[in-house]
Structure 1
Amino acid sequence: MEPRRKKNRKQKQQKRHYNGNNSKLISVNVNWAELPRVVLEIIFEGLSVVDCISVSNVCKPWRNVFSPDVSCWKGSGIPSLIMSGQHRREKRTCISMMEKRAWEMELPEAHKKYCWGSFQDWLILVDDSVYLSVEISLLNPFTRSTINLPRTWDDYHKIVLSGLPYQKNFVCMLLHNERREIAFWVPGAQSWNKFKLVGEPFEDAIFYNGSFYLLSKDDEVCQLDAASIFAAISGDNALADASADSSVPEIKIQSHKVSIVSENPTNDNVMRYLVESRGELLLVCRFFSTSPGAILETRKFEVYVLDIGEMSWKKVEHLRDRVLFLGKCCSRSFSVKELGVPMTNRIYFSNDNVAPWWNEWDSGYLQGMSSRMRLDNSGRKHWGIFWLGNKDNHNFCFRGDRDNWGPIWFTAPLWWYCNNFLTY
């Protein structure tokens, strides 16, 4: 039987042509693995992420097409989680949401550092080894590129990037834990430049359409123009005179009181995320249980879109072709069509704490808390899924792990994923 299979396989690889008189049969062997790279790139560009994973597993030459130098795949990737509580290890446990695949990623650069957040395939790391201060670094674990940021005080709860670190006019922004204070850094600056505003502290922030948008608990949205931030800090005089307490008076700021109609008029026990999705700015409200003794129990989510003309939040009942991934310093929106998976109208979220002011390095006491308090931690989870608008959502209850900090979302690049996990 084996010789017959080989013969049939060979016949299938032959393409038959007749000459002009139809008198002679010419057989031409076609080796699909030898298709020109440029042809494969054109074909693969039109495929979803899931389909690209499938075709890259056909043969090694096809897989080699997926490489970091092909621009169309630089922004494509696999939504993944990096687990917390592993800062003393040189390997970190990661999970792919699309394939439910777990793997150990080599991260010697992250030894004794906490993963604070991510921006696409870049990780944001924090070293708190010096008392009351932290050193922040940006690491791309797939290209091994590293950017070290200046050390600063340990009183910030959120970091926001204006884009990828190598992009023009790149800006980093920090939000203070207790005050309406923000700090900025641009490439070349020797320290963080602080700037103070009056009012309630900011809960969350995002870079959107050329500006940083900052959300406070009293529903005020503060808009800071990123170009003016970069110009103010990157000037020769600003760099020469920069100090830990320097201010940036040239920043263009707009303050908006944004109205919202919600079933829950108070923001108590609500964690709020800002997410850019398909050119729109979304506000996602995560409601925690108010029952006595309920710890880290999420009851539901509500989604709103910013109407810039009316400066109001409009409730969204359906995410259309988008799926959201929510987490501290790492929220992101993906296209279901580009991913190629049936995940429409879903919100993936991690085990975040209800207080946005906490960081993992402040929470070592969480380890073993359940046993000390004689609480049952069985059935508690690191991440969950919420179907927006599902009729059964009124029965939804996600119980987060009390003993561990929530994991961080990041994007594993398609080229790296195909070359590291698929075999031929």
Structure 2
Amino acid sequence: MSNWADLPHFIVCEIICRLSFFDDIFIAGAVCKSWKSVVNSFEKPPPLPPKGPWIMLSEEREQGNKESKTRSLFNLLDTKTYDFKLPELVGRKCLGTSFGWLLTISADLQINLFHPLSKHLICLPPQPTFCRQYTPEVEPEHLRNMFVPKCVLSRSPWNSITNECDHDCIIMAIYGEIRTLAFTRPGYKAWIDIESPSRAYDDITFYKGNFYAVDGHGEVFACRIDDSQKVVAKAVAPRPEGTRDLIKKYIVESAGDLLLVLRVRGGHYYSIEDYPNYEEDEFNNVDLEDDIEDEDAPENESEEVEEEEEENINDNSYVTIGFTVLKLKRFTQAGSKYKYKYEKVDNLGDRALFVGDNSSVSLPASSLNGCKANCIYFTDDNIELYEETLNGGGYDMGVFNMKDGTLDKHYPESFSYYSTPLWFI
């Protein structure tokens, strides 16, 4: 132990800067008094991701907890809830990205990347710099809550070695009334639109040097960000056979594969007629090896409900009833514009997927004590219906077992009318 304690402080500092998880910084500080003094010497510790998944719980009040200035986080591994003093997040819309960072938007429409454990903050271009704005104009609070539903990073935005932000990091977002795509980098003055043949995107991910986005129909698009030329998203996978617009889509890299995850909801606001018969295997033999448009696709994804249903607000307006997972498999066919077809996935192996109001993530369950393999962990991201429920949203959370199709809870509920619980990973 004395040998470790005798290491020069700058060597210990270099060791700490090269750790993989934020939890390890505290472990390093427990080695000896000398190492603890080095950890305490950081004005802000390196912004590393947490070792396991956490849920950042909702703010119950729209102005946040101004007195204590805290946010509560639930640790999935030890099943304990911790309160963190985070005045930087009071009253701000938060989205989970990756590498332990959050995208935050304030009522004055300023946008930041914020690392809640280290308190590092990176300013991004504000909301008015997006190309497409709401028409007519809406209240800033609505823009804060709804304007950016998804954000993903190409890499960590912070270089722990140089202790500076990484200007090579690309931040891509789904934004606006029609949910189109844009990107920026640290240091940019505005968000840059991505030309796309589609809109109403549900999710985005970064995979093998490219960004992939899935729209509300389930069609997948890819684009590579090259500053020397205009960025265009191109279709690479068709709409899966048997899906519907009301089925929520996520796209995630898992163990080297690109997966399309379909989340089916039932309840008061979702009619079973909106979906295929979920008990039948509608997604087997999904090839779609041509470019034929689906002429039977509904033009409007929201059908009228009966008048008495519109007036009946209850606390179970929607609920997740199942998931289907498809793998994008490379294929070539003459005359087809698509590079991928779909293959149904029945088993995720050792992986656990985490979806919701965050960048969709896949983690090896065996390295996370308390995390179940072959399962999908989900939070309540159906913010459009939060105000239509008695106590607000935040209750539709749980764990879906791919093996037997059962659903279980990982946290009871986190009610709010404007703030979503989300994965912090």
- Give TM class, smaller chain: 0.5 to 0.7
1:259-280 per-position Cα deviation (integer Å, ceiling 9, x unaligned) = 535xxx2324311111111222
Which one has a larger percent strand, Structure 1 or Structure 2? 1
Report the Cα distance in structure 1 between the residues aligned to 2:364 and 2:33, rounded to whole angstroms.
28
Equivalent residues in 2 for 1:25-424 (5 A)?
Answer: 74=48, 77-86=51-60, 88-89=64-65, 90-129=69-108, 134-152=109-127, 153=133, 154=143, 155-165=147-157, 166-167=165-166, 169-179=168-178, 181-226=180-225, 228=226, 230-232=227-229, 250-251=230-231, 253-258=233-238, 260-261=240-241, 265-289=242-266, 295-309=317-331, 311-341=340-370, 343-353=372-382, 358=384, 365=387, 369-370=389-390, 381=395, 383-389=397-403, 391=404, 393=405, 404=417, 405-411=419-425
The one-letter amino acid of 2:59's match is: G
1:119-164 per-position Cα deviation (integer Å, ceiling 9, x unaligned) = 23111111123xxxx2210011222211111112534432222221
Report the Cα distance in structure 2 between the residues aligned to 1:79 and 1:161, rounded to whole angstroms.
17
Structure-2-length-normalised TM-score = 0.65
What is the Cα deviation at residue 257 of structure 1?
3.8
The one-letter amino acid of 2:354's match is: F
Structure-1-length-normalised TM-score = 0.65
The one-letter amino acid of 1:383's match is: M
What is the Cα deviation at residue 407 of structure 1?
0.5
Higher radius of gyration, 1 or 2: 1
Query: Which residue of structure 2 aligns with residue 14 of structure 1?
Result: none
What is the Cα deviation at residue 383 of structure 1?
2.7
Report the Cα distance in structure 2 between the residues aligned to 1:58 and 1:110, rounded to whole angstroms.
29
Q: Among all aligned residue pairs of Structure 1 and Structure 2, give the percentage whose two residues are the same amino acid.
A: 24
Indicate if the aligned counterparts of 2:262 and 2:325 stay in contact, CA closer than 8 A. yes
Q: Is there any run of 5+ residues in structure 2 with no aligned partner, and where?
A: 13-19, 128-132, 134-142, 158-164, 272-313, 333-339
Which stretch of structure 1 is more off in the superposition, 149-158 or 310-319? 149-158
Report the Cα distance in structure 2 between the residues aligned to 1:342 and 1:195, rounded to whole angstroms.
37
What is the Cα deviation at residue 288 of structure 1?
0.4
The one-letter amino acid of 1:305's match is: K
Query: Which residue of structure 2 aligns with residue 236 of structure 1?
Result: none
User: Per chain length, whose mean CA-contact separation is higher, i.e. which structure has more relative contact order (CA < 8 Å, sep 6+)?
Assistant: 1
Report the Cα distance in structure 2 between the residues aligned to 1:66 and 1:277, rounded to whole angstroms.
37
Q: 1:396 to 1:323 in 2, by over 3 A?
A: closer
Q: 1:123 to 1:396 in 2, by over 3 A?
A: closer
Which one has a larger percent helix, Structure 1 or Structure 2? 1
Report the Cα distance in structure 2 between the residues aligned to 1:159 and 1:177, rounded to whole angstroms.
13
Query: Which residue of structure 2 aligns with residue 27 of structure 1?
Result: none
1:198-253 per-position Cα deviation (integer Å, ceiling 9, x unaligned) = 33422211111111111122332211102x1x445xxxxxxxxxxxxxxxxx2254
Indicate if the aligned counterparts of 1:295 and 1:402 stay in contact, CA closer than 8 A. no
Report the Cα distance in structure 1 between the residues aligned to 2:373 and 2:34, rounded to whole angstroms.
30
The one-letter amino acid of 2:341's match is: S
Q: 1:54 to 1:212 in 2, by over 3 A?
A: closer
Tell me the secondary structure at the aligned position of residue 295 of structure 1. coil
The one-letter amino acid of 2:401's match is: W
Indicate if the aligned counterparts of 1:298 and 1:397 stay in contact, CA closer than 8 A. no
1:313-345 per-position Cα deviation (integer Å, ceiling 9, x unaligned) = 211111111111111233211112332446211
Tell me the secondary structure at the aligned position of residue 109 of structure 1. helix
Q: CA RMSD in A?
A: 4.2
